[in-house]
Structure 1
Amino acid sequence: MTVRDHYTPGELDRDATFYVAGHRGLVGSAIVRKLRAAGFTNVVGVTSSELDLTDRDAVSDFFARIRPRYVVLAAAKVGGIMANSTYPVDFISDNLRIQVNVLDSARIQEVERLLFLGSSCIYPKLADQPIREESLLTGRLEPTNDAYAIAKIAGMVHVQASRRQYGLPWISAMPTNLYGPNDNFSNENSHVLPALIRRYDEAVSSGSTTVTNWGSGSPRREFLHADDMADACLHLLEHYDGTEHVNVGSGTDATIREIADTVASVVGFDGETRWDTTRPDGTPQKLLDVSRLKRTGWAPQIGLTEGIDRTVAWYRRHVGSLRNA
């Protein structure tokens, strides 16, 4: 293994093989769009039916065959409060195996630059707001998604360990709540924003005069459009080489009630919104401190209302072929 003691971030080779794990998901598909728009000519993505990332031998063979120079690990088993609460073993087991297999194979093939994507749920439930990167492991996790969070923390530590032991200039980014094209809009396993979009749009289509949402509507959430996230990923790969992970977000938040009102307005729902307070709220607030990211020279370009409008338009164009798992 060659130790890269003097690596300096800079523009990536547009002709090098660039593997995006999870290329059909919300963030992975956005990264593929970004890379191709930026001139990358050899962006590789394979479906889960073509490559099971939980199969260690298959992943090893795949990496040996394509020998990527760059990798973004965006593949993960993800879901909302209900899915995480119902299937915690699946979330920790599948994600740990995906991460270990991809990161080990990338190390063996001496991948030059790798970006691991975590989640803002890695932080303590009651972390001071906005949440700084240094808040990691300073308190208890939100119990509804602690299994998923532990897996993501393990992936981030794996990246840091690869830097220490092998000198690989790999980095990690912790996104806030993401939304946009290719999100999961299922009734059972979606995150809050796509769930709201589907719920309100179906109310409009059916002529319903009421919509009922989970919880009180009081928790505050930060959202970032997937296209902004993709732009931040390429920016970090070309401009950042620190040991510590980097928060990626908009730096602003709103209550779930305010977000629901925005969705209702965008889809044209003018009925009554009700709140089922017997359902869990989850973490009271998750707002990331994005100072470290800002210091690298990056800022988001898509406002929340604009992003929701674009996502609703995409949802309506693809409603007949959406993934529902």
Structure 2
Amino acid sequence: MDLNAKIYVAGSRGLVGSAIVRRLKKLGYKNILEKTSKELDLRSQAGVELFFCNERPEYIFLASAKVGGILANNSLPAEFIYDNLMIETNIIHNAHKYKVSKLLFLGSSCIYPKYALQPLKEEYLLTGELEPTNEPYAIAKIAGIKLCQSYRRQYGDNFISVMPTNLYGINDNFNLDTSHVLPALMRKFHEAKLSGAPSVTVWGSGKPRREFLYVEDLADACCFLMQYYNDSEIVNIGTGIDITIAELAAMMADITCFTGEIVYDRTKPDGTPVKYLDISKLTKLGWYAQTPLRAGIEKTYQWFLRNSANLTFQQSHDLNI
């Protein structure tokens, strides 16, 4: 990308999009388009087409999505599939129609089958049943991948798709009803420390293994791939290192200085038993994550402490636009 190129970051107020904007600015890009959900509803076909007609972006990072943890996915399956399908369909189609030079679509590691071999390789896509708790979201993300591949195959559009592992960091969602496991645990342990609570309850058995990537590293990987990757096949983005939920909870307790008991509620679902990504394709291209998990959590917690007074924990989950 030329430093003067017009770049649209869809989802620039969310966890991923805001990190991509920060990374682009650090690299020297100044012509960055950002729109809030009030300014542009990406589910609106007419609204998105008008935006493309007026603005004519040259490059697109498609980071806008409706996202959430197990509770949100279980409670709002229709919204998760509809909103995500509409967002990606509108943007990808108009990127083709208005001749965007390149588009990067952000998927999710939940696209892979629940019981696929570990680590998860890109070729495992569509080789087995999905995890039921997030199937609608996963199906929408798989549709986005296939849209990119189909437009590339039929029209030659340079649309690429990347699959990040579980993310955390600045601008994360800390609403306990809709957040992912890491920010939810951070808030739980922080509030338990402040209140002097004797224990913190963690969903499930604590045995599932997960991989976590600091969102600033993801943003760096996305900018790297936008510059250097031009193939149709998806690319995993992660660290290649996993950890049990119990180990994560113990680390979170230590970082937040919570000294009480950690209790596991085994009546709640564990989700996929093990999930971490094979990142060999990405490392062969020359990219590696730079932030160790504990260091990333410490940075995120310091940001949380500085901004907790301004975080609206009770608001309903939005579209990360």
Partner SS for 2:65: coil
The answer to whether structure 1 residue 223 and structure 2 residue 212 are counterparts is yes
Aligned equivalents of 2:311 and 2:129: distance in 1? 35
User: What does 1:124-273 align with in structure 2 at a 5 Å threshold?
Assistant: 124-273=113-262
| TM-score normalized by the length of structure 2 | 0.97
3-state DSSP of counterpart to 2:271: coil
* Structure 1 residues 237-316: aligned runs within 5 Å: 237-316=226-305
Structure 2: 5+ residue stretches without partners: none
- Partner Cα distance (1:170, 1:102) in 2: 11
1:31-180 aligned at under 5 Å gives the runs: 31-180=20-169
Q: Secondary structure at the match of 1:27?
A: helix
Shift of 1:242: 1.2
Output the CA distance in 2 between the equivalents of 1:286 and 1:28.
24
- Partner SS, residue 183 of structure 1: coil
Amino acid at match of 1:311: T
Instruction: After TM superposition, give the deviation of residue 316 of structure 1 in Å.
Output: 1.0
1:309 aligned partner, one-letter code: E
Contact 1:184 1:323 in 2 (8 A): no
Which of 282, 303, 306 is equivalent to 1:317? Answer: 306
Gaps of 5+ in 1: 1-11
For these two proteins, the number of residue pairs brought into alignment is 314
Alpha-carbon separation, structure 2, partners of 1:205 and 1:31: 33
Distance in structure 2 (CA, Å) of the matches to 1:278 and 1:124: 23
The alignment partner of 1:195 has SS state of helix
Give the deviation of 1:94 after TM superposition: 0.5
Give the Cα separation in 2 of the matches to 1:162 and 1:294.
27
In 1, Cα distance between the equivalents of 2:27 and 2:155? 30
* Cα-Cα RMSD: 0.6
* Equivalent residue letter for 1:220: R
- Find the aligned partners of 1:181 and 1:83 in 2 and give their Cα distance: 21
Aligned mates of 1:249, 1:76 — CA distance in 2: 19
- Percent identity reads 54
Distance 2:312 2:232 in 1: 36
* Deviation >6 Å, runs of 4+: none
Shift of 1:56: 0.4
After TM superposition, give the deviation of residue 18 of structure 1 in Å.
0.2
Superposed CA offset, 1:48-91 (max 9, x none) = 01000000000000011110100000000001000101110110
Q: TM-score, normalised by structure 1?
A: 0.96
One-letter identity of the residue aligned with 1:169: N
